[in-house]
Amino acid sequence: MGLKLASTMAVLFLFGLIYALVFTIGVWFLPSNLFGLSLMIGFTVLIILFQYGISPLMIRLIYRIDWIPYEDFTYQYPHLADVIDKVVAIRGIRTPRMGIIHDLNPQAFTFGYTKNSARIVITDGILHYLDEGEQSAVVAHELGHVVHNDFILMTVVFAIPLILLTIARWAYFTVRFSSLFRSSKDDDAGSYIVLVLIVVAVVSYISYYIGYIVSLFVSRIREYFADQHAAELTENPNTLSTALVKIAYGLIAGGTEAEIKERQKSRVRGLRGLGIFDPKKASHLAAQSMDNHGRVSKRVVQAAAGWDLFNPWAKYFQVFSTHPLPAKRIQRLNGQCATYGVPVEYDFSEARIIKEQQVGKSMVGEFITDIFIKQLPTFIFIILAGMTAIWILGLVGLISLGTLITVNNLILLWAIGFFIMGLGVIGRTSFMYRSGFETIPPSNVVELITNIKVSPVRAVPAIIEGKIVGKGIPGYYFGEDLYFQDNTGLMYIDYRFGFGLVDFFWALTKANRLVGQRVRIKGWYRRGPSPYLQVDTIETESGKRYRNYSKHMTYILAVIFFGIGAFLFYLWFTLI
């Protein structure tokens, strides 16, 4: 919910181009004084206002949205209209315009300029997979953003760090390119001004990063407030909690009797893998994995939420995300249940037990390993840069150790280092894209989502069979990713090729054709803020096969490193 990823990326791309152009012109042509800085800040504010003005227009342009007259919307979805009318009457706002994206990926978002010009968009997935109470909770959440005027608030919040970034860059480029740096060598006053500008640049950069983290924190708080608004309006926090379980974790329920029985069997297999139940007591597992009404087992939800609650990667993503992790939102909603006199639907009291059955008491070791593997080439580069810095300091006489390093030795060091970085890229790829498709049986969504010991780096090779029901970003014309359903749940399918132009043509020519088809997908199951499967191969019932070469694209960087290393070896050899 609240997802505007595609539109945000498109707007930010346009915003970034304009900002870069304006800043470059400002650095070269504006005076290097406070007046020039004031003009740069003014231009930044104008660009922010431009982004604020153009964002709703961009969303309407790049999303395939079916706008519905409110009278028709009221006739088709009276339970949702009741929620909207109630808020309109209480808050005195103008009725939002309603739109639907015809895609079974269950998502919803709102956008606009103010609370009186809001537009709320839901997908067919919200209407298909969620019951009426959950649908009402989703719309109430989006209305929470509307009545709280989050459009304006978040624009201001994110503008502050951007202004700080402008100040930092202005100070840096003023020192770097203006005459102050050259005149400071012979002028004490110039040296003082340069020092002040350097301090301003450093402090502004630090303030920018702190401000950016704070702005993300404020965004997450606004999501909690919108959740609270949904709980107040529906008078039952559980309705939004169960909606989040379906939307964020893809754990669907309901359906025909045959579908429920099949999901029960699949969830039994998933829960056996967790070691939660005795496999010999299989006759009791169906009842424990789903209740008599076909609702998702609380144990399954606890296992799915275990990653959010205990994996160190979850804490990392929480800091750098605009939305709280689903489990955190559900916990906050659980705290409101007593206010409305309803029992908690999904508590996580036994989630730690499930986690310890899978991975033990801590996953810090796995997290450190993941970081090391992911950043291995960077670590090697930092070591080489440090050795080079020691050599430079030795040349200027600041330290004596630098004199032990000659130019030839430094070139040899970098040559060896680039070869090691190339090997590091190969090792990282082998770790992140583990093989084994030939020996593993087909899996399913619930078996994957209940695996806590995964990350963006530490993947699980998997084969899943089911149907493509929508796009990864519903309604987005240029989205290359897909959305998948099997008998146990829903999952995001990541078709990242590694080269933007290929992704663009895939989105225009292939992605839409796959929607509605039954497929068999081989790939790597990963977990970020949301679970997803990164594609290796997609096979359709008609026999068509689509291969993704994202794994192979990573080797290009290794080839580049080996090439640089070979050139440096040649240069070293000619100098000895």
Q: What percent of the chain has pLDDT over 70?
A: 81
Of 243, 54, 16, 233, whose CA–CA distance to 131 is shortest?
243
**Strand 97-101's sheet: what is its strand order?**
66-68, 97-101, 119-123, 108-111
Of 496, 513, 505, 508, whose CA–CA distance to 549 is shortest?
496
pLDDT one-digit tens code per residue, 437-460? 888 888 999 999 988 889 999 999
Report how far residue 559's alpha carbon sits from residue 576's, in angstroms, rounded to the nearest whole number.
Answer: 26
Of 81, 14, 83, 23, whose CA–CA distance to 50 is shortest?
14
At residue 529, φ and ψ (nearest 5 deg) are: -60, -30
pLDDT one-digit tens code per residue, 509-518? 888 899 999 9
DSSP 134-180: HHHHHHHHHHHHHHTTHHHHHHHHHHHHHHHHHHHHHHHHHHHHSHH
pTM, two decimals, is 0.84
Report how far residue 367's alpha carbon sits from residue 424's, in angstroms, rounded to the nearest whole number.
Answer: 18
Confidence of residue 274 (pLDDT cuts 50, 70, 90): very low
pLDDT one-digit tens code per residue, 333-355? 999 999 999 999 998 888 787 77
What letter does residue 438 receive in the DSSP assignment?
Answer: T
Q: How many residues does the chain have?
A: 576
Confidence of residue 201 (pLDDT cuts 50, 70, 90): confident
Distance of alpha carbon 440 from its chain centroid, rounded? 29
Report how far residue 329's alpha carbon sits from residue 59's, in angstroms, rounded to the nearest whole number.
Answer: 26
At residue 23, φ and ψ (nearest 5 deg) are: -65, -40
Residues 6+ apart with CB under 8 A from 423: 558
26 or 342, higher pLDDT = 342
Confidence of residue 196 (pLDDT cuts 50, 70, 90): confident
Q: CB 281: neighbour CB atoms within 10 A?
A: 9
Res 529: pLDDT? 86
**What are the distances in angstroms from CA 146 to CA 202, 244, 276?**
38, 20, 43
Report how far residue 566's alpha carbon sits from residue 463's, in angstroms, rounded to the nearest whole number.
Answer: 40
Give CA angle at 486 (482, 489), nearest 5°.
Answer: 85
Q: Is 327 exposed, middle or buried (0-12, 13-18, 19+ CB in 10 A)?
A: buried
Q: Tokens for 359? A: 């991975």
Report how far residue 146's alpha carbon sits from residue 531's, in angstroms, rounded to the nearest whole number.
Answer: 28
166 or 419, higher pLDDT = 419
**What are the distances in angstroms from CA 274 to CA 216, 283, 449, 531?**
34, 17, 11, 17
131 or 9, higher pLDDT = 131
Residue type, 214: V
Confidence of residue 177 (pLDDT cuts 50, 70, 90): low
Q: Is 531 exposed, middle or buried (0-12, 13-18, 19+ CB in 10 A)?
A: buried
At residue 305, φ and ψ (nearest 5 deg) are: -75, -15
What letter does residue 402 receive in the DSSP assignment?
Answer: G
Mean pLDDT confidence for 250-261? 58
**What are the distances in angstroms from CA 69 to CA 57, 294, 474?**
19, 35, 21
- For helices 298-310 and 312-319, the axis angle rounded to 10 degrees is 70
Q: Are 446 and 300 in contact (CB under 8 A)?
A: yes
Confidence of residue 526 (pLDDT cuts 50, 70, 90): very high
At residue 296, φ and ψ (nearest 5 deg) are: -65, 140
R_g (Cα) of the chain, nearest Å: 27
pLDDT one-digit tens code per residue, 529-564? 889 999 999 999 988 999 998 898 899 999 999 999
Mean pLDDT confidence for 207-212? 91
Residue type, 319: V
Report how far residue 300's alpha carbon sits from residue 444's, in angstroms, rounded to the nearest whole number.
Answer: 13
Q: Is 547 left (phi over 0), alpha (psi -120 to 50) or beta?
A: beta
H-assigned helices in 68-129: 70-76, 78-91, 124-129
Q: Of the ranges 174-178, 341-345, 376-380, which one carries the lowest mean pLDDT score? A: 174-178
Bridge pairing between strands 66-68 and 97-101: antiparallel
Report how far residue 400's alpha carbon sits from residue 551's, in angstroms, rounded to the nearest whole number.
Answer: 45
**What are the distances in angstroms from CA 138 to CA 105, 208, 231?**
14, 34, 10
25 or 429, higher pLDDT = 429
Report how far residue 282's alpha carbon sits from residue 360's, in angstroms, rounded to the nearest whole number.
Answer: 25
Of 303, 291, 260, whose CA–CA distance to 489 is shortest?
260
Q: Are 129 and 246 in contact (CB under 8 A)?
A: yes
Residue type, 313: W
Report how far residue 375's alpha carbon sits from residue 369's, in angstroms, rounded to the nearest whole number.
Answer: 10
Confidence of residue 65 (pLDDT cuts 50, 70, 90): very high
Q: Domains in the chain, start-ordered, CATH in brackets?
A: 5-60+151-232 (no CATH), 64-147 (3.30.2010.10), 245-362 (no CATH), 373-576 (2.40.50.200)
